[in-house]
């Protein structure tokens, strides 16, 4: 394995679990439009942009809207999501991730965030974790969603690190595909049976040290 010089992290499901807030906001929108959204259907929305998610939700409900209406409903969904996110505190960081980031800093390994979310900085601020990241590439900068590697390639470029020296941490299939398409090492956070394209899969960061993980990736 090439020497790891940078680690790039997805946000939702890796640093913090905001999936429940996304689901509640999308379900509220679906209900407003006259149908329901199940947890299983919500899985289709993970790792992709807001407007792509809206198209999927509308498809599930068989609802057709004008472009103007789509922008209006997407903005309403985001406003509701942000209301839910106001509840986030530093205690909501997923177990072990803060310790892992501390270790990376001590080892002089660069860190970046690569997320489709346009609210990444707000959420990281609520978590008191904004200063952990040397660069943030979010939905306000990236123009192409995962599985395209743009978000991670931009992060690597910001950090001045070649893709082959980057490890990406992702909980979504599309995110792992983006990492691999960018020539990076993809570590899945979740279930190996789902994240089959990852180079390595672990349930989370709790109890995981940087050295132990990098040894496993060799």
**pLDDT, tens digit (0-9, with 9 covering 90-100), for 87-116:** 999 999 999 999 999 999 999 999 999 998
| Catalytic choice (10, 138, 171, 199) | 10
Q: What percent of the chain has pLDDT over 90?
A: 87
Which is higher by pLDDT, 43 or 92? 92
The confidence score (pLDDT) of residue 1 equals 60
Does the pLDDT of residue 17 top 70, yes or no?
yes
Average pLDDT over residues 183-187: 98
193 vs 144: CA distance, rounded Å: 27
105 vs 76: CA distance, rounded Å: 38
**Selection from 155, 146, 12, 32 nearest residue 85 by Cα:** 12
- Answer yes or no: 12 catalytic: yes
| Catalytic choice (12, 138, 171, 199) | 12
Q: 38 and 199 in contact (C-beta within 8 Å)?
A: no
- Answer yes or no: 199 catalytic: no
| H/E element, 120 | helix 120-127
Average pLDDT over residues 57-64: 97
């Amino acid at each position: 394995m090439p020497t790891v010089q940078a680690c790039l992290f997805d946000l939702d499901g890796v640093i913090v679990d905001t999936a429940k807030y996304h689901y509640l906001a999308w379900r509220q929108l679906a209900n407003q439009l006259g149908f329901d959204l199940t947890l299983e259907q919500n899985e289709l929305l993970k790792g992709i942009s807001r407007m792509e998610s809206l198209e999927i939700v509308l498809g599930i409900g068989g609802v057709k809207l004008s472009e103007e209406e789509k922008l209006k409903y997407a903005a309403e969904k985001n406003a509701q999501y942000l209301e839910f996110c106001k509840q986030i505190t530093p205690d909501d960081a997923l177990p072990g991730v803060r310790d892992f980031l501390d270790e990376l800093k001590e080892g002089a390994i660069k860190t970046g965030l690569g997320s489709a979310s346009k609210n990444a900085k707000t959420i990281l601020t609520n978590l008191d974790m904004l200063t952990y990241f040397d660069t943030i590439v979010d939905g306000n900068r990236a123009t192409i969603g995962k599985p395209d590697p743009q978000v991670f390639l931009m992060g690597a470029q910001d950090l001045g690190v070649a893709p082959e020296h980057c490890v990406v941490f992702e909980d979504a299939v599309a995110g792992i595909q983006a990492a691999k398409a960018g020539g990076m090492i993809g570590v899945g956070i979740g279930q190996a049976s789902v994240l089959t394209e990852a180079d390595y899969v672990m349930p989370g960061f709790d109890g995981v040290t940087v050295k132990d993980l990098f040894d496993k990736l060799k």
